[in-house]
Amino acid sequence: LKPVKIGICGLGTVGGSTYQVLSRETELLSARAGVQLYVSHIGARRDNPHCATADTRVSRDIFDVARDPQVDILVELIGGTTVAKELIETALASGKHVVTANKALIAEFGSELFALADKHGVVIRYEAAVAGGIPIIKALRERLAGNQILWLAGIINGTGNFILTEMKDKGRAFADVLAEAQALGYAEADPTFDVEGIDAAHKLIILAAIAFGMPLEFTRVYTEGISRITPRDVDYAQELGYRIKHLGIAKQSEAGVELRVHPTLIPERRLLANVDGVKNAVMVEGSAVGPTLYYGAGAGGDATASAVVADVIDLARDIAAEQRPQIASLGVAQQNIVAQTIVPMVQVVTPWYVRLEAEDRAGVMAQITALFSDEGISIEALIQKAPSAGESKVPVIVLTNAAAQGRLDAVIAAMDKLESIADEIMCIRVEMLDV
Ligand code: HSE
Burial 10-41 (b: 16+ CB within 10 A, else e): bbbbbbbbbbbbbbeeeeebbebbebbbebbb
pLDDT at 392: 84
Rounded to the nearest 10 degrees, the angle between the axes of helix 158-170 and helix 174-183 is 130
Residues in the chain where the model's pLDDT stays below 70: none
Q: How far apart are CA 22 and CA 59, in angstroms?
A: 19
Sign of CA dihedral 28, 9, 100, 112: negative
Kindly give the number of the ligand 1 atom that is closest to the alpha carbon of 156: 6
154 in ligand 1 pocket by Cβ < 6 Å? no
Q: How far apart are CA 42 and CA 90, in angstroms?
A: 16
Question: Other C-beta atoms within 10 Å of 270: how many?
Answer: 18
Kindly give the number of the ligand 1 atom that is closest to the alpha carbon of 159: 5
Nearest-CA residue for atom 4 of ligand 1: 299
Give the β-pairing of 256-267 and 222-223: parallel
Question: Other C-beta atoms within 10 Å of 385: how many?
Answer: 14
Task: Give phi and psi for 197, each to the nearest 5.
Answer: 85, 5
pLDDT at 434: 84
Distance of CA 71 to the CA centre of its chain: 31
pLDDT at 435: 75
pLDDT at 254: 92
Q: Both ends of the chain: CA-CA distance in Å?
A: 49
Q: How far is the CA of 350 from the centre of ligand 1 (A)?
A: 27
132 in ligand 1 pocket by Cβ < 6 Å? yes
Give the β-pairing of 4-9 and 426-430: unpaired
pLDDT at 153: 98
The pTM (predicted TM-score) of the whole model is: 0.97
Amino acid in the structure at residue 186 = Y
> Rg (Cα) of the chain, in Å, rounded?
24
Task: Let me know if 170 is a catalytic residue.
Answer: no
Give the β-pairing of 97-100 and 124-125: parallel
Q: How far apart are CA 397 and CA 407, in angstroms?
A: 18
CA neighbor of 222 nearest in space, from 193, 187, 197, 245: 197
68 in ligand 1 pocket by Cβ < 6 Å? no
The H or E element that residue 284 is part of is strand 279-286
187-235: per-residue pLDDT in tens? 999 999 999 999 999 999 999 999 999 999 999 999 999 999 999 999 9
27-80: per-residue pLDDT in tens? 999 999 999 999 999 999 999 999 999 899 999 999 999 999 999 999 999 999
pLDDT at 400: 98
Distance of CA 203 to the CA centre of its chain: 4
CB-based burial label for 154 (10 Å; 0-12, 13-18, 19+): buried
Q: 185 CB contacts (<8 Å, ≥6 apart)?
A: 12, 13, 299, 300, 301
The H or E element that residue 207 is part of is helix 198-212
